[in-house]
Amino acid sequence: MRPTAGSPRTTAALALLALACGGPNADGQTGVARRDSAGVAIYQAASLGPRVEARETSRLGAVDGPPERTFFRVRDARLGPGGVIVVLDGGDDAVKLFDSAGRALRALGGTGEGPAEFSAAWLLELRGDTVRVLDTDQRKIVTFSLAGELLATRRIGFSVSQHGFPEAFASAPGGRLFIAGVQGCGFPRRPNDNQWGLFAFGPDGAVEDTVQIGFVRDALPVYVSSGRSTACTVIQWPFEAGPAVAFDPAGGGVWSPGDAFEIRWLDESLARVTAIMRYPVEHRAVTGAQRRAFQDVLDAREFLSEQFRRTVEQSADSAGYPDVWPAVEALQVAGPGTVWARRVTPTGAVEQEWDVLTDGRHVRTVVLPAA
């Protein structure tokens, strides 16, 4: 839930993987367990589908070479029409396009303040042959065609300080825009510290509405004064149970509270839950080695003063750490009623697991190498 520094270019590579199996079983029986007082359908998957391992089909990027073939900080990636692969490299502030065989096609954008340039390229949205990029610094959405043509530049009333670091965004009919953001902590303390929200923006780029709101669980902010300055950090950040959000290109979206293996479908306004699905996955236990590894990360931060370091350690010791890891950390909509939900990947894990859910059923768990 916190932005992290990207890997050095010399170690960056992006692997594409595919399932070694077919699509969802459309013959499975679906049942609504019950409806709540608001009429929301609540599904409970009776069991988990099979575990399957993904296999690598192609690999993008190189250790050395021109910028269009290497990666500095991959923010997002999508598969486009005709097998075109669209990658947002936040380090180069560029959208890099590859064919289905992994050959570089072109790069869009770049660092700068022009209408087709970025200073903080953060997320992308792919709709057909159109790609949109959110720049959090210049507060704009830039739209390109996959052929490389600049189609539009749109200013929006979004700010990291007010709305948080964006987790997902999507355009909607009528020129509306939705952005999901998560706050960290700051000083002076703010009412929206460690808060997440889903915000709607109008055709003119102004904020229209706060559609959803909530707080990140197990996010413990620590404030330390040193002389005339006060700083803030969030301890326990690997164990935070924050929301995961994804938008459906056909309208609406899904979100998970993060602390439970539960997916909620939203209508086109994104304000109303239309269905809830729960599936029987056990939370992973937090091990002593993982707690020590996190503490080692805090200890290695040389820029922290000794006073700050002691305060952080005392706060961590006093608060303790959760006994189990949160549940869901990312979502992808893969078609009508079908969602891929990534389980939280614990520290030191060598595998990443995605649950495929459709029609009230858990179809399969797809296992990938952990990044």
Beta-carbon count within 10 A of 159 CB: 12
Q: Domains of the chain (ranges plus CATH)? A: 59-155 (2.40.10.480)
Question: What was the pLDDT predicted at 219?
Answer: 65
315: which 2 tokens?
């706060």
Task: Note the pLDDT of residue 20.
Answer: 39
Burial 240-252 (b: 16+ CB within 10 A, else e): bbbbbbbbbeeeb
> 306-319 vs 288-299: helix axis angle to the nearest 10?
160
pTM over 0.75: yes
pLDDT in tens, the chain (371 residues): 333 334 444 334 455 554 433 333 333 445 567 888 888 999 999 899 999 999 888 788 777 778 777 888 999 999 899 999 999 999 999 999 999 888 899 999 999 999 999 999 999 999 889 999 999 999 999 999 999 999 999 999 998 888 888 888 888 878 888 998 888 776 667 777 777 888 999 999 998 888 877 777 666 677 766 666 666 767 666 777 778 889 888 888 999 988 899 999 998 888 889 999 999 999 999 998 988 887 777 777 666 677 777 777 777 777 777 888 999 999 999 888 899 999 998 888 889 999 999 988 999 999 998 76
> Residue 338: how many CA atoms within 13 Å on its side-chain side?
11
- What local confidence, expressed as pLDDT, does residue 16 receive? 53
Of 258, 202, 119, 118, whose CA–CA distance to 131 is shortest? Answer: 118
pLDDT at res. 32? 61
Following DSSP, what letter does each residue of 126-142 receive, concatenated?
EETTEEEEEETTTTEEE
Q: Which of 360, 362, 336 is nearest to 43 (CA)?
A: 360
**pLDDT for res 349:** 86
In degrees and rounded to multiples of 5, residue 238 shows phi and psi of -65, -20
CB atoms within 10 A of CB 317: 10
